[in-house]
Structure 1
Amino acid sequence: MTSNQKRPFFLQFTLGFIAILILFGCANIQRPMGGPRDRTPPKLLKATPLNSTRNFTAKIIQLDFDEYFKLNNVYQEITISPDVNKQPEYSIKNKSLIIKLKDTLQKNTTYVFNFGKAIADVNEGNVLKNFTYVLSTGATIDSLKITGSVTNVQTQKKEKDVTVMLFPLNRDTTWGKHKPAIYTTTDSAGNFSLANLKAGDYKVYALMEKSPNKIYDNDEELVAFKKDVIHLTRDTANLQLILFKQIPPKLRLIERKIDNDGKLYFIFNKPLLNPGVHIWDKKLDSAKIVDFSPTADTAMIYLKDMTFDSVKVSFLDKDKPLDTVTLKRSKRDTYKRIIALQYNTTFDKLKPGTDLVITSNYPIATIDPTRIIMQEDSNEVTDFNIIRDPQSLKKFTLKTRLRQGKNYSLAFNIGTFTDIYSDRSALIKKQFSVDKQENYSQLTLHVTLPDSSGNKNYVVQLLNDNNIEIKSTVVNKNGPIVFSRYPVGKYRVRVIYDANKNGKWDTGDIKQKIQPENIWIFTKTIPLRTNFEIDEDIVVPPEVPNP
Structure 2
Amino acid sequence: MLMLNHRTNLILLLVSFFFTSCANIIPPSGGDRDSLPPVLVSAFPKDSAINVSPKLITLTFDEYISLQDVNSNLIVSPTIKDNPIVDNKLKNVTIKFKDSLEANTTYSLNFGNSIKDVNEGNIIKNFRYIFSTGNTIDNFSYRGKVVLAEKGSIDSTLIVLLHNNTSDTAIFKNRPRYFTRINGKGIFEFNNLSGGYYTAYVLPNDFSKKYDDSTKLFAFRSTPLLINSNTVTDTFYVFEAFKRKAAQATSAATNVSKTDTRLKFTNSLDNGTQDLLSPLELKFGKPIKKVDSSKLVLTDSSFNSVKPAVISLDSTRTILTVNFPWKEQTRFNLIVSKDAVEDTAGIGLIKSDTLKFTTKKETEYGSIRLRFNNINLQKNPILQFIQSDKIIESIPLSSSELIRKLFKSGSFDMRILYDTNKNGVWDTGAFGKVKRQPEIVQLITKPLSVRANWDNEVNIEL
User: In 1, Cα distance between the equivalents of 2:207 and 2:36?
Assistant: 22
User: In 1, Cα distance between the equivalents of 2:322 and 2:450?
Assistant: 29
Q: Which residue is 2:365 aligned to?
A: 440
Please point out which of 462, 470, 480 is paired with 2:392: 470
Whether the 8 Å CA contact 1:130–1:184 is kept in 2: the answer is no
**How far has the Cα of 1:535 moved from its partner?**
5.6
**How far has the Cα of 1:350 moved from its partner?**
0.8
| Mapping for residues 391-540 of structure 1, pairs under 5 Å | 391=313, 395=320, 397=322, 404=329, 420=345, 422=347, 425=350, 432-445=357-370, 456-466=378-388, 468-475=390-397, 478=399, 481-491=402-412, 493-511=414-432, 512-534=434-456
Over 3 Å counting, the alpha-carbon distance change for 1:48 and 1:459 in structure 2 is same
Q: Which residue is 1:233 aligned to?
A: 228
User: In 1, Cα distance between the equivalents of 2:268 and 2:83?
Assistant: 62
User: How does the TM-score come out when normalised to structure 2?
Assistant: 0.68
User: In 2, Cα distance between the equivalents of 1:54 and 1:393?
Assistant: 68
User: In 1, Cα distance between the equivalents of 2:249 and 2:187?
Assistant: 44
Over 3 Å counting, the alpha-carbon distance change for 1:140 and 1:464 in structure 2 is closer
**How far has the Cα of 1:50 moved from its partner?**
1.5
Over 3 Å counting, the alpha-carbon distance change for 1:216 and 1:426 in structure 2 is farther
Whether the 8 Å CA contact 1:384–1:398 is kept in 2: the answer is no
**How far has the Cα of 1:140 moved from its partner?**
1.9
Q: Which residue is 2:66 aligned to?
A: 69
Deviations, residues 171-207 of structure 1 (Å, cap 9, x unaligned): 7643254443422212333333211111212222233
Over 3 Å counting, the alpha-carbon distance change for 1:120 and 1:515 in structure 2 is farther
Q: Which residue is 2:21 aligned to?
A: none
User: In 2, Cα distance between the equivalents of 1:359 and 1:85?
Assistant: 54
User: In 2, Cα distance between the equivalents of 1:353 and 1:51?
Assistant: 65
Over 3 Å counting, the alpha-carbon distance change for 1:435 and 1:35 in structure 2 is farther
Q: Which residue is 1:184 aligned to?
A: 180
Over 3 Å counting, the alpha-carbon distance change for 1:352 and 1:515 in structure 2 is closer
Letter matched to residue 223 of structure 2: D
Q: Which residue is 1:112 aligned to?
A: 108
Letter matched to residue 49 of structure 2: T
Please point out which of 34, 38, 51 is paired with 2:47: 51
Whether the 8 Å CA contact 1:457–1:474 is kept in 2: the answer is no
User: In 2, Cα distance between the equivalents of 1:36 and 1:409?
Assistant: 71
Whether the 8 Å CA contact 2:75–2:180 is kept in 1: the answer is no
Gaps of 5+ in 2: 1-29
Over 3 Å counting, the alpha-carbon distance change for 1:57 and 1:161 in structure 2 is same
Q: Which residue is 1:279 aligned to?
A: none
Letter matched to residue 228 of structure 1: T
User: In 2, Cα distance between the equivalents of 1:126 and 1:83?
Assistant: 28
Q: Which residue is 1:351 aligned to?
A: 275
Q: Which residue is 1:135 aligned to?
A: 131
**How far has the Cα of 1:36 moved from its partner?**
12
Q: Which residue is 2:285 aligned to?
A: 361
The alignment of Structure 1 onto Structure 2 pairs a total of residues equal to: 421
User: In 2, Cα distance between the equivalents of 1:355 and 1:177?
Assistant: 50
User: In 1, Cα distance between the equivalents of 2:271 and 2:401?
Assistant: 32
**How far has the Cα of 1:463 moved from its partner?**
0.5
User: In 2, Cα distance between the equivalents of 1:87 and 1:436?
Assistant: 66
**How far has the Cα of 1:221 moved from its partner?**
4.0
**How far has the Cα of 1:56 moved from its partner?**
1.4
User: In 2, Cα distance between the equivalents of 1:91 and 1:403?
Assistant: 71
Identity of aligned residues (%): 25
Q: Secondary structure at the match of 2:218?
A: strand
User: In 2, Cα distance between the equivalents of 1:351 and 1:84?
Assistant: 60
Over 3 Å counting, the alpha-carbon distance change for 1:149 and 1:351 in structure 2 is closer
Q: Secondary structure at the match of 1:175?
A: helix
Over 3 Å counting, the alpha-carbon distance change for 1:253 and 1:472 in structure 2 is closer
Whether the 8 Å CA contact 1:151–1:240 is kept in 2: the answer is no
Over 3 Å counting, the alpha-carbon distance change for 1:39 and 1:416 in structure 2 is farther
